[in-house]
Amino acid sequence: MTCVLIIDDEKLYQKMVANAIGSNGFDLIFADNGKQGLEMAKANHPDAIITDVKMEDIDGYELTRLLRREVEFAKIPIIILTTQSDLHDKLNSFESGADAFLTKPFVPAELLARVMVLLRRAEIVQPAFDPDLKVTKPRENGKFIALHSLRGGVGCTSLAVNLSLGIQLLWRKPTILMDLSMVAGQVALMLNSTLKRTWADVARLPLAEMDFEILNSIINTHESGLSFIAAPTFPSEADTITSQTLGAAIRLLRKEYDYLIADLSHDFDELTIEFLDIADIVLLIVSPDMASIRAAAAALDTYVKLNYSPEKIKLVLNSPFPKHGLTKENIETALSLSSMVTIPYTPDSFVLSINNGQPFVYNNPNEPISGLMEDFAFHVSKDVDKKAKMDDPSEAWLRVYNRYQERRK
């Protein structure tokens, strides 16, 4: 029987929650405060937790954070009930790792629906390294694609998210997106996922203890099947993460995933250089303005000094504004590098997908910008995949193929 832990210091709301969900075969257990809730969670291992925010000893946000630090509570559904409904509370819920938040007084049917959806999602979306999950492992290390820019605001994370989804949807093979921008990374937000656990949760472990089971506790899964690892929000947490820890983690991941996509920080710190070193492709993201071109020139000069092969660096032009940008020809001439792809100014698709956590490649696959991103994902994929005969092609692959056929006419 499905067990649900209800944590609230008001008996009235305990009863209201019980009335809302209790007639659906759940085994309900109750805690009167945050401390008791922690104890009961560890003793009973519930399938879901519903907690109030305002409690005298430990509030609901801190309770959720404490639970998410434990591997056993990394992925169970947690719903927060709050008397506030503003953006501040939504962000607090996201940062704490809650799956959802509802405003008191809540609508019983909505609470029940949230519980049912989250429980069903927890059953469907299995861990990346579940021993019972039958996944054909790649015969060689996965292809590592890094997105980099020395200038923020050029769309690196948006492109990383949509490119990763494009690859996942094309090949339906194990694909993981890693947020390696260690200060206020945004990958989880753009995938409409809360910060349950992040890289910081494995930072304290000795390297000798790093294994797939540990990594699985920080791997999240988008409904598309894309795996991802989130970066911590706060710099104090990021400071605990070493290049040795991340390097060990990625060496393990390359044996399990066909594709690894990394959203890197906008610098050349120790972590960034390590991942640029091991990347198969570095996508240098540039917007059509002088500041971005200057930063790209500095990055290219550094790549040369790091002895990277010219074939490893691919230029991507992304246009975040409607007009007065430098031309593609001028940019390529200034950088002495041809571009692999040009992303046109498409504000509605990018802004709406960011604010709603609904990447356009997945949620609006028939938009022109989604088609461009699917073609781009195909272009950076492994040659063995691009040349393979598709007995059961994905819908994304069929769209790419049909566009290719149209261009040949």
Backbone phi and psi for residue 193, each to the nearest 5 degrees, phi listed first: -125, 140
Over 90: is that where the pLDDT of 122 sits? no
For residues 134 and 143, the model is more confident at 143
- What is the mean pLDDT of the segment spanning 316-335? 91
pLDDT digits over 164-187, tens only?
Answer: 999 999 999 999 999 998 876 789
DSSP alpha helix (H) spans, 172-204? 187-190, 200-203
Per-residue confidence band for 153, with pLDDT thresholds at 50, 70 and 90: confident
Question: Coil, strand or helix: which one is 385?
Answer: helix
> Please, what is the average pLDDT of the chain?
87
Sheet holding 3-7, edge to edge: 27-31, 3-7, 48-52, 78-82, 100-103
> What is the rounded distance in angstroms from the CA atom of residue 192 to the CA atom of residue 182?
19
Angle, vertex CA 305, rays to CA 302 and CA 310, nearest 5 = 80
**Could you tell me which residues are beta bridge partners of residue 148?**
284
**137 pLDDT higher than 70:** no
Q: Does pLDDT of 130 surpass 70?
A: no
The H-assigned helical ranges of 357-394 are 360-363, 368-379, 383-387
Q: Are 129 and 214 in contact (CB under 8 A)?
A: no
Other beta carbons less than 10 A from residue 120's beta carbon: 11
77-91, 263-277, 374-388, range with the lowest pLDDT: 77-91
The band of 118, judged by pLDDT with boundaries at 50, 70 and 90, is confident
Confidence (pTM): 0.80
Cβ 23 vs Cβ 140: under 8 Å: no
Kindly report the number of other CB atoms within 10 A of residue 392's CB atom.
Answer: 6
* pLDDT at residue 128 tops 50: no
Model pLDDT, residue 131:
39
pLDDT in tens, 222-280: 989 999 999 887 777 777 788 888 888 888 999 999 999 999 999 998 889 989 999 99
Residue type, 353: S
Per the listing, tokens 């593609």 go with 328
Is 140 a residue whose pLDDT tops 80? no
Percent of the chain with pLDDT over 90: 48
Whether the predicted pLDDT of 127 surpasses 60: no
Written as six digits, the tokens of 196 are: 């349950």
Mean pLDDT of 78-93: 81
Both ends of the chain: CA-CA distance in Å? 59
Residue 139 has pLDDT above 60, yes or no: no
What is the secondary structure of 113-167 as a DSSP string?
HHHHHHHHHHHHS--TT-TT---PPPSSPPEEEEEE-SSSSS-HHHHHHHHHHHH
d(Cα 162, Cα 349) in Å, to the nearest integer? 11
Euclidean distance between CA atoms 122 and 388, whole angstroms? 33
Q: Where in the chain is the domain with CATH 3.40.50.2300?
A: 3-124
Q: What is the mean pLDDT of residues 293-308?
A: 96
- CA–CA gap between residue 242 and residue 199 (Å, rounded): 10
Q: Which 8-state DSSP code applies to residue 102?
A: E
Class of the domain covering 3-124: alpha beta
Confidence check: pLDDT of 209 > 60: yes
Among 32-36, 72-76, 337-341, top mean pLDDT goes to 337-341
Within 13 Å, how many C-alpha atoms sit on residue 265's CB side? 18
CATH fold for the domain made of 143-408: Rossmann fold (3.40.50)
Length of the chain: 409
The β-bridge relationship of strands 27-31 and 3-7 is parallel
Residue 56 and residue 32: Cα distance in Å, rounded? 10
DSSP SS3 for 386: helix
Amino acid at 354: I
Which of 84-93, 95-104, 258-267, 297-306 is least confident? 84-93
For residue 181, the model assigns a pLDDT of: 87
- Tell the burial category of 398 from Cβ atoms under 10 Å away from its Cβ (0-12, 13-18, 19+): exposed
Q: Are 176 and 128 in contact (CB under 8 A)?
A: yes
pLDDT, mean of residues 366-391 = 94
Where does the chain hold its CATH 3.40.50.300 domain(s)? 143-408
Question: Is residue 124 very low, low, confident or very high in pLDDT (cuts 50, 70, 90)?
Answer: low
Q: 212, 72, 163: which is closest to 377 by C-alpha? A: 163
Which phi-psi region, left, alpha or beta, contains residue 166 (left: φ > 0; alpha: ψ -120 to 50)? alpha
Alpha helices in 136-241 (DSSP H): 156-171, 187-190, 200-203, 212-216, 235-238
Contact by Cβ (8 Å): 295, 150: yes
How would residue 109 be classed by pLDDT, with cut points 50, 70 and 90? confident
